[in-house]
Structure 1
């Protein structure tokens, strides 16, 4: 058929196949097909920019080309396409309700805010086959990464074209096949097609969260592989055909039994929910979804499964020949299931708590008991004695300590809130928390992996022998020899060890009191055990050198003591026996009956042999310890005499169970500084220049994720981050153990890129110039670009906009190196007044607007894999433009301008009486010129200026940026600044006059 005949048949209004041929031959000229009525509502909801992108851009061409290529291989499913259109419109209306609010807050990104349904609209205006291909795109996007999906689509296109070329060579192809074989679809077009489907999935999951969660919960116990054929094209088409045909029958009310796991994959992607019956799980009743789009009788029965209890419910493995530039085909494995989904910030907290319990081992086997330990540790800090060194901490605006474990942003405080919530929860809420904690236990490597694991059900405390005289701190040495990466992984952060508690107690008397509680709790015989303590031990825990003078002994419990201090009437000693706690010292330092300050216990002489003999430390260390006496016993007259009985020390005496220690810690008031140091030493000490990677530092990273995402409502996190330990690039190099004092913009953006993708690890220094990030259905923008320039915005504060810029993968936006500013025009002299400032506040820039557009400059970044054809993350040159009444004014680098401007923070807050001040223009040694239009700023006067854009944060941000590029020293005045009492000293206070004059720069105040 000739080209002219094809065009003629198209003009004559022939069938859809002829129309497709005409479009192929005409290079797929954008000739719209009227979309089905079910999809018409979607077109009304889409923003104008997205609708134009769908109808006039390459995405529309991609939809038509893919439909022509794959139409013969995919089944016709009219019922599915009809109800899918209804569901799409329903979801779009739900997500569109807050779009106008987003417009007001999104400034330069307003054209990109809203749902990304461009691929659906492009398909709806390209014919039914294109909508079917979109459904296939959703299945692929659900399980594979961006680069894998792009490579998969590229290979599908190439293999299909090879089929058609072969059929043509064998004389088995018609004209449509020959034209389809000549379709040219680039990798870029396929990547954008996949990106739109991927963004839609995230938005639709959010809108249908309740039913989607119920579906995933029903199939999470399965482990089913999607079967493959030798040829990749056949595998994909077979799986998609099975899913499409089953869904078509379910919608019509015909019950189905799962024959291929691909059906469940399609079910998770298309947001149409038949009832489910999963056999072999002990359930008799089906999971009721009550979806009005599914006719009565549409029940899907699942009777096939492999071993359950994993985090990959459905998995699909395909060999990709075009993923890498060199090498054999790479087998890509995609999954759906708990380990390959998205979670909220609150869910991440409970999963992290589960990871922690997993590291604590059998000591934390019971979730309620383990959670009670989290709250106990938190309250130990909260009720501890605060003696923190001032140099180690900095205060927030509210006066709280940013490094304090009880600070609301510390990971310990967050875990305490989660633990309290879990303990108080009941019913289904409790079961949901249990599921999240169980997932965390299975993914405990997220917080790192220790090299050895003990059985912490009954944790052995220090037990060793050493000679008391001239001994060294063997216990301290023993602790140093522990594996430097594993010490912080001890159960309950090491609070099961008596040594840690003794370390955190201030005085010998507090240590003795605690050890007596231990002895009483363990039922130790007070005649066979002593408390040995060093009265001269320093806070650092170093032993004294003169042991005989430093060591003292105390009873573990009251003993019967014969007192001979009193005399009777006949002058003889009057013996009296009392039951009390007593102490012993060396004979050189004790007087009979002497009482020490701080307690009422009497001292007696300790035999010299006690200081020189080998004694077994039962519990504790050199500072304070319970000593078992294998060669002596304490008699009722408190005199130590040799004991010849052979007595074997019970192993149970050397252990303190988690249950026991929890009771012992009740009411303890530890030293907060010592507690703090114990966490720092566990997570941050360095040994032989090798930094620790303990659990404390991993939890600090989680705390940073929480701080960043707390400001991003609606954002979710990929559970793929749970598959590995938190990457080293996100570990803080220093700072406290509970809260990182400062987080930079580049760190926050790198963290978001990792949490959004689950695998893209970017080095923060590479993102120094990045001001926004677009991925999936979200745009993350540095908060200062969406705020008034006078507001204080921390570097890590990002804002999330629901939308995207239509680019695949992770697009990291950077400003041009040398942005342009419109040159002044002498023809505008009529609107340039340069009046003197008259102390009035007005908004002269109401028509100012911000926009963003993208150049063709793209710089790929090295992520996790090397050698891939497509980059998962890249720097995208993005230009922020300022317009006035639709007319271009300038392109700006806002981050640079904000970093080089000053903000006046002092004002009278309206207390100044206006009538008491002289009216009229502002006067000083020089006149301050008011700027009331862009022409006056682009052609500025000599001297200092004040630009008037009262309460217009968009204009104030734009004016600051342009003034900075015009080499002004910029001073931003707060919203409530009193312009009546404004004077020139304000410039001198915030901007150095000598520097300005040396550089020939004037000052610009933005009001």
Structure 2
């Protein structure tokens, strides 16, 4: 009778939907069960629903929640007919775009009822009245900025405050019927589970909408990102939310009608993001031009103008700060601050590379330059690594270089993902580039996400550390080029600094070079003064660099073929060794005129007979002249220098530099000294690599300068500015450079490289997860140093990740939660937002052997809030053989027919409500909603509507009793219908009872599920549950190969199996 009365009320009051609820409530009926006709604009939503979701939306808990919320907040939202109509059209459009046909749905097996957009809350609202649709708009706004636990807490406060508001104003209602109905609406209870399910569905829906409207959303976020507007100024959660809801609905309704609006607060910007309706924008800070979104549901004249920006005060387009009282069991309300911006939204893993690139840039402390400079430098490094591609030479060396180059520059390598990110930024369009740079800057604010500061190499992957860089350069000229540019960028004076570089050219170990070109002649000051001091030139000439070649008479002296030009016999080598000592080149010594003064002190030097080098066997003169020719060829002046090491300060030297422009004249000048006295300049290292090339500075030998090996000392680092100017790809040894990125840097800085390798593995995994997104804000809330899904110590570990590691990785990137992989050993699927991540074997034919760790993404969710890990029960049940089912037991002899007699078989997910403990790294027991759970889940096999068993599929497929027939010789195959005479007697299994009851005579059974991957998967699982061997056949079996395979089966090592029960089951 009550049902009949309700139906009459619905029929008579179809034009006044709200009154239906009120009347039903007044009659003390369960008005939450009433289903109204959805507005025609929402009809597209109906077509997107699976049976399970439709039932929940029309008769289940979601429908009841929508009805209760609609009745409770009756009269609160403003009338917005045009907005609700446009919203219905937009969500129908998205549902049609994401529609999944029955065949595609069936392909997802046990998840077929959960695949596709979760539009259940939308349909629940559409069939609950216009108030409920407005409530769904509010749910989308809340879910668009707050996380799941925060949203539930906020809903509880809104409901509590709304009930109190009704109770305080009920006496003013003149309509007694309406007053009673409103009062009864306040008596409805809302559980956390109900609100969590409502929020979860709305949250999943807006993620689906974000993906469908990605281009328009990207533009809206990008161009309004600097607005920095608070949603409103109220600090009371109820007042703030209600005001934002009303403002957003009114503004959007006007925009849709073509009435221009000016942004007064952040509410309308939040609504655009949450409701996926995109008016044209006018951002005055970017100029008067209108940014056209061309949304057909918004009239062209409906332009939203943003004329106020507060980038210095806040980050993002919208800021919302609310105190939430129901987040914790006890304590003061928790003030939650949330922003809506480019860097706080969900992004693709490809876009996350930009964030990661920013984290790397953040470790380049002191490197200097703008973010664009750093990006360009990365692009130049990529171009350098790709240099073998430009070579036309075909050689083994080039092929090896190409192989290493592809390994390094691949997006799946730790460095390749960063190089390709930089390259994509440079090659992208304006919107993509600006969005990418915002994400890079987001990463730059959170360097600790990547590694600890002490684990970071010097900037630019250690290449800014001069000794590391110089080890990769081809020649001393490259060293000199970097040092000269470094000296210029630091503003060093050529009078006080000089470069000393090691040559290893015959007996010539090193040389000196100026840091800046010198014009005119120079003079030398005292030992604590200048190296070079320019004198006013007598004639003007172009400034040129100078080099100095060290000359010494100590070793080696020359051995002349004939007597020295000064005459007299040459002393023996023994005599030279006895008398040899350090002597200034060409310095005149007293002695007989007939004896060369230098010979009297250990042997003739090159100075004495510079023009007789052809007769000198020492070769030193020849080497010097070779170097002079080379230096002159580079357009530089070559002069001699006389120096010596200081024993008490091994890194320091004393040097007397030749002057002028002519080598021989300067040589003789060194020999005679400067005005009769020796002038040495004390030099000590300033910057560089003392073993290869370094800048030296004048000064006293007791000066204490930092040690060269300190890799983070700025004196020994090249800045980004210097790199940009001095970087030349052809100066780098390609083999050494690739080896640096393949092994060397990992060995030096594992704490830096290992997290990047892990991110590359995650990126490679996500590349197989279409439309999967990650939470960009995790870099602010977590750190890879805390992650448990990869090892920082095991540098030799190969990726990809194990299955538990893969699920832990996805959980971190998807939700920001970190879990020990020990909790996840038995997980076969996880769900969060609008994604279900499934172990690949769960969705594949059992004959296939996908990578055990491969994960697939199913768009949708299972209706559970937050993050859910699905695990099987420890002992799945199976139906016992029915003795009374003898009528269906035929077990006919198998004659080769390929049939599918299990087409009525289906598999379904059912939650047992058991949730084992799951503690995340950042778990706080004081917070009520943790937002994640291990959920025991049954994978149930049904024969039509009859239950057969529950399965642990992953365990079954990895069982040693499972084997697959591999056909080795295609030419010798027998036809599938041809069974050899020698083949063992085999019985057909055409229903589940025949599998549960083994045949009496035949040793083998053939389960005929040909072409039915789900039936084959179920048959394997049931066979293992029966403790029988499961032999999986290919789609077109060769019975000779099957026979060979059966002969090769080895007895099971598992003592728990009864040998008599191991007759194989062939899965056809």
Deviates more, 1:103-112 or 1:717-726: 717-726
Query: Equivalent residue for 1:645?
Result: 680
Residue equivalent to 2:20: 19
What corresponds to 1:65 in structure 2? 68
Contact preservation (8 Å) 2:646, 2:654: no
Structure-2 change in CA distance of 1:145 and 1:989 (3 Å): same
Contact kept, 8 Å, 1:229 with 1:235, in 2: the verdict is yes
In the other structure, the counterpart of 1:544 is none
Contact 1:679 1:737 in 2 (8 A): no
Deviation at 1:787, TM superposition (A): 1.5
* Counterpart for residue 613 of structure 1: 647
Counterpart in 1 of 2:582? none
In the aligned structure 2, how far is the partner of 1:720 from the partner of 1:780?
Answer: 21
Aligned to 1:151: 153
1:805-836 deviation per Cα after TM superposition (whole angstroms, max 9, x unaligned): 11111121111222111211233334434456
C-alpha distance in structure 1 between counterparts of 2:867 and 2:119, whole Å: 18
8 A contact 1:560–1:577 mirrored in 2: no
Match of residue 823 from structure 2: 766
Which residue, 893, 899, 906 being the options, matches 1:849? 906
SS of the residue corresponding to residue 73 of structure 1 reads: coil
1:553 to 490, 494, 509: 509
Equivalent position to 1:938, from 982, 992, 996: 996
The answer to whether the aligner puts 1:74 opposite 2:86 as a matched pair is no
Deviation of 1:207 (Å): 1.4
Output the CA distance in 2 between the equivalents of 1:664 and 1:311.
39
- CA-to-partner distance for each residue in 1:948-1005, whole Å, 9 max, x for gaps? 4444322222122111211224444455663323235556467657979886652444
User: Would you say the 8 A contact 1:815–1:878 is kept in 2?
Assistant: yes
Q: Which residue of 2 aligns with 1:1006?
A: 1067
Q: Within the alignment, does 1:203 sit opposite 2:208 as a pair?
A: yes
Distance in structure 2 (CA, Å) of the matches to 1:4 and 1:53 = 20
Residue 415 (structure 1) aligned with residue 476 (structure 2) = no
Give the 5 Å matches for 1:330-341: 330-341=334-345
Q: Name the CA shift for 1:345/1:596 in 2 (closer, same or farther; >3 Å).
A: farther
Q: Which residue pairs with 1:92 in the alignment?
A: 95
Query: How far did residue 343 of structure 1 move?
Result: 1.1
- Rounded to whole Å, the distance in 1 between the matches of 2:991 and 2:622 is 83
Spell out, residue by residue over 1:775-832, the C-alpha distance to the aligned partner (whole angstroms, 9 max, x if none): 2111111111111223333344211111111111112111122211121123333443
| TM-aligned CA distance change 1:994 to 1:411, over 3 Å | closer
Q: Please, which of 933, 936, 961 is the counterpart of residue 877 of structure 1?
A: 936
Q: Does 1:798 align with 2:855?
A: yes
Hey, what does 2:525 align to over in structure 1?
Answer: none
What is the CA deviation profile of residues 340-397 of structure 1, one whole-angstrom value per residue up to 9, with x for unaligned ones?
Answer: 211112211223223322322563635565345435656777889xxxxxxxxxxxxx
RMSD: 4.4
**Aligned partner of residue 416 in structure 2, secondary structure:** helix
Paired with 1:166 and 1:630, the residues of 2 have a C-alpha distance of 94
Verify: 1:678 aligned to 2:739, yes or no: no
Conservation of the 8 A alpha-carbon contact between 1:904 and 1:990: no
SS at match of 2:9: helix
What residue is the counterpart of 2:45 in the other structure?
A: 42
CA distance in 2, matches of 1:903, 1:29: 54
In the alignment, structure 1 segments of 5+ residues that lack a partner are: 385-398, 451-484, 536-550, 581-590, 618-627, 685-693
Cα distance in 2 for partners of 1:401, 1:663 equals: 20
> Is 2:430 aligned against 1:441?
no
DSSP-derived class of the 1:743 partner: coil
CA contact (8 A) 2:939 2:952 kept: yes
C-alpha deviation, 1:923, in angstroms: 3.4
- 3-state DSSP class of the match of 1:914? coil
Query: Does residue 225 of the first structure (1) align with residue 260 of the second (2)?
Result: no
Q: What SS does the aligned partner of 1:888 have?
A: strand
Which residue, 787, 790, 810 being the options, matches 1:729? 787
Is the Cα contact below 8 Å between 1:75 and 1:241 reproduced in 2? yes
- 1:16 shift after superposition: 3.5
Q: TM-score, normalised by structure 1?
A: 0.79
Give the alignment's TM-score, normalised by structure 2: 0.75
* Residue number in structure 2 paired with 1:255: 260
Match of 1:185 in 2: 190
In 2, Cα distance between the equivalents of 1:681 and 1:134?
54
Q: Residue 318 in 1 paired to residue 384 in 2?
A: no
Deviates more, 1:308-317 or 1:236-245: 308-317
Q: For 1:239 and 1:736, how far apart are their aligned partners in 2?
A: 52
Distance in structure 2 (CA, Å) of the matches to 1:414 and 1:579: 62
Deviations 1:606-654 (A, max 9, x none): x99957724564xxxxxxxxxx633466896999999633356695726
Counterpart in 1 of 2:526?
Answer: none
Displacement after TM superposition at 1:933 (Å): 3.5
Contact 1:403–1:736 under 8 Å retained in 2: no
Q: 2:654 corresponds to which residue?
A: 630
Distance 1:210 1:295 in 2: 19
Q: Distance in 1 between matches of 2:404 and 2:686?
A: 43
CA contact (8 A) 1:63 1:126 kept: yes
- Deviation (angstroms), 1:230: 5.5
- The 5-angstrom pairing of residues 425-464 of structure 1 reads 425=428, 429-448=432-451, 450=453
Contact 2:33 / 2:64 at 8 angstroms: preserved in 1? yes
Q: Deviation at 1:330?
A: 1.1
**1:77-130 Cα distance to aligned partner (Å, 9 max, x none):** 22211221111211211111x444641431111111111111111111111111
Moved more, 62-71 or 985-994: 985-994
Does residue 216 (structure 1) correspond to residue 172 (structure 2)? The answer is no
Alignment of 1:236 with 2:192, yes or no, is no
Match of residue 495, structure 1, among 452, 456, 463: 463
Q: Secondary structure at the match of 2:125?
A: helix
Give 1:300's match in structure 2, choosing from 297, 304, 317.
304
Taking a change above 3 Å as real, the CA distance of residues 708 and 911 of structure 1, as seen in their structure-2 partners, is: same
Counterpart position of 1:814 = 871
8 Å CA contact 2:6, 2:24 repeated in 1 = no
SS across alignment from 2:196: helix
**TM-aligned CA distance change 1:519 to 1:868, over 3 Å:** closer
Q: Distance in 1 between matches of 2:964 and 2:724?
A: 57
Aligned length: 900
Partners of 2:763 and 2:836 in 1: CA distance: 18
1:228-274 alpha-carbon deviations (Å, 9 max, x no partner): 44643222212211111222222222222222322222222112222
Which of 893, 896, 920 is 2:955 aligned to? 896
2-side partners of 1:887 and 1:921: how far apart?
Answer: 37
Distance in 2 of aligned mates of 1:99 and 1:646: 86
Q: Label 1:887 to 1:403 Cα distance change in 2 as closer, same or farther (>3 A).
A: farther
Alignment CA distance shift 1:900-1:285 (3 Å) = same
Q: Does 1:911 align with 2:971?
A: yes
Answering whether residue 292 of structure 2 is matched by residue 288 of structure 1, we say yes
State how far apart, in whole Å, the 2-side matches of 1:246 and 1:526 are.
70
Q: Tell me the equivalent position of 2:164.
A: 162
From the superposition, tell whether residues 714 and 577 of structure 1 become closer, same or farther in structure 2 (CA, over 3 Å): farther
Compared with structure 1, are the counterparts of its residues 191 and 717 closer, same or farther at alpha carbon in structure 2 (3 Å cutoff)?
same
Partner of 1:705: 762
